Amino acid sequence: MDVMVNVTPTPYDVVIGPGTRRELDERVTNLLPDARRAVVVTQAAVAKQAWFAALTLSIPYEIVLIGDGEDAKNFSTIETLCRAFVEMGLSRGDVVVAVGGGLVSDVVGFAAAIYHRGVASVTLSTTLLGQIDAAIGGKTGINLPEGKNLVGTFTQPLLVICDTETLSTLDEAAWRCGRGEMAKYAFLGDAKPSTDILGEALEEQVFRCVAIKAEVVASDERESGHRMVLNYGHTLGHAIEAVGLDLRAQGSLAPVTTMQHGEAVAVGLAFAARLARRMGRIDDARVVLHEEILEGFGLSGALPGDLSAAALLDAMSRDKKAHHDLTFVLDGPNGVEPVRGVDPAIVLATLMDMGAKP
């Protein structure tokens, strides 16, 4: 199954299904007939998989490994990649292939975007999070100590391959991470929000999410308006992750320091529903629907213990969607949409209702 992301000037395909990794060489050759070299960037755990060893490209290529975890999304990794590209003789007409999850596509996409002021990148996405969200849409980036994804570019890939066979190697934490993103798609798109996505086959779930994201990206590539809906649940989710990064840097072993991205987004979805209810935008039944979808995916909407509402509010105020005020993506009578100028007192009250300390 192919979904086209119809962006200007170069639309590209997202190829979905079991075994689609085997199309990598043919598609790269067709898209870049003049490329003479490739660099494949992945992580150690992916490189150990039997299917990775069977990947082939017709042009000469070398493999570069990057680190795991959000701590690897930094300028040091970007410098390492760009210097490796120089050492390996990568030219502007060549290609970088990212093989892995959302972290890999974020980092590799950013490095490819700035190396020689832009070389082509292709992603073979191997996690549920990557396949339904992170690998699609051209948002690349790295973290700063002050927050997630604060440095990056809008640079579209040349091709994305979502081989659902590669998901069989994921552990339960990685599945939860992807399902946290998948949960938001139950509230996006033209269909009436419902629990239907819970009963779909995996390929159908991936296709549904990709099709919705492709439509949104095509309508608003650079997130000037409508694309913000894709950040549903992310304002608090990113704040939780930012607090976790800070605590981890201090040597803390608090539960928040080990939360997966999708787990943080799940909490963010539960919070967004409660905030929207407090603001009179949705009713109790809609809040319950959010809870049912999270529970159906085996996710918790509970805020991690011992977090400060004031610290979370400060982190949310630095969110990329903020325009010198508090901006949230919230459900409402017109569906999910950005809402600016939200009263901080309401936000703090909602957080404390969920168990945050002042």
pTM: 0.91
- Residue 147 DSSP code: E
Q: Is the domain of 35 the same as that of 155?
A: yes
Which residues on adjacent β-strands are paired with residue 140?
153
- Kindly state whether residue 38 falls inside one of the protein's structural domains: yes
146 in a domain, yes or no? yes
Q: Among this protein's residues, is 74 annotated catalytic?
A: no
Per annotation, catalytic residue among 37, 231, 277, 281: 231
The residue length of the chain stands at 358
Domain-embedded: residue 183: no
Catalytic residue from among 227, 274, 281, 290 = 227
296 and 162, same domain (yes or no): no
Is residue 90 located within the same domain as residue 163?
Answer: yes
- Candidate list 238, 274, 290, 320, residue with the active-site label: 238
Say what the pLDDT of residue 324 is: 61
- The answer to whether residues 155 and 8 belong to one domain is yes
Residue 23 backbone phi and psi in degrees, to 5: -90, -5
Q: Which one from 223, 274, 277, 281 is the annotated catalytic residue? A: 223
Q: Which of 213, 274, 290, 320 is catalytic?
A: 213
- Decide which of 135, 170, 205 is a domain's last residue: 170
CB-based contacts of 89, cutoff 8 Å, min separation 6: 37
Instruction: State the Cα–Cα distance between residues 101 and 19, nearest whole angstrom.
Output: 17
Q: For this structure, is 146 an active site residue?
A: no
Is there a catalytic annotation at residue 30?
no
Q: Are 236 and 271 in contact (CB under 8 A)?
A: yes
- For residues 120 and 248, state if they share a domain: no
Establish whether 213 is a catalytic residue: yes
246: domain range? 229-353
Check 261, 281, 290, 320 and give the catalytic one. Answer: 261
Does 188 reside within a domain? Answer: no
234 is catalytic: yes
Residues 271 and 141 in one domain: no
pLDDT score for 327: 93
Is there a cis peptide before residue 9, judged by omega within 30 degrees of 0? Answer: yes
Query: Structural domain tally of the chain?
Result: 2
Asked if 139 and 166 touch (Cβ cutoff 8 Å), the reply is no
Does 118 lie in the same domain as 266? no
Q: Do 113 and 6 share a domain, yes or no?
A: yes
Q: Would you call 58 exposed, middle or buried from its count of C-beta atoms within 10 A (0-12, 13-18, 19+)?
A: exposed
Beta bridge mates, 16: 162
Indicate which CATH number applies to the domain containing 287. Answer: 1.20.1090.10
Whether residues 44 and 141 fall in one domain: yes
Which one of the listed residues 37, 148, 179, 234 is annotated catalytic? Answer: 234
Do residues 47 and 134 both lie within one domain?
A: yes
Respond yes or no: is residue 73 known to be catalytic.
Answer: no
Which of 153, 170, 187 is where one domain is finished?
170
Tokens matching residue 74? 């930094």
CATH of the domain at 15: 3.40.50.1970
Look up 222 and say whether it is catalytic.
no
What pLDDT does residue 218 have? 96
200 catalytic per annotation: no
Is 48 in the active site?
A: no
Does residue 149 share a domain with residue 20?
yes
Pick from 170, 191, 217: which residue ends a domain? 170
- Please tell me the distance from the alpha carbon of residue 8 to that of residue 156, in angstroms, as a whole number: 10
Q: Catalytic annotation on 238? A: yes
Catalytic residue, candidates 37, 73, 139, 184 = 139
> Tens of pLDDT along the chain (358 residues)?
899 999 999 999 999 999 999 999 999 999 999 999 999 999 999 999 999 999 999 999 999 999 998 889 999 999 999 999 999 999 999 999 999 999 999 999 999 999 999 999 999 999 999 999 999 999 999 998 877 788 999 999 999 999 999 999 999 999 999 999 999 999 999 999 999 999 999 999 999 999 999 999 999 999 888 999 999 999 999 999 989 888 888 888 888 988 989 999 999 999 999 999 999 999 999 999 999 999 999 999 999 988 999 999 999 987 755 556 799 999 999 999 999 999 999 999 999 999 999 9
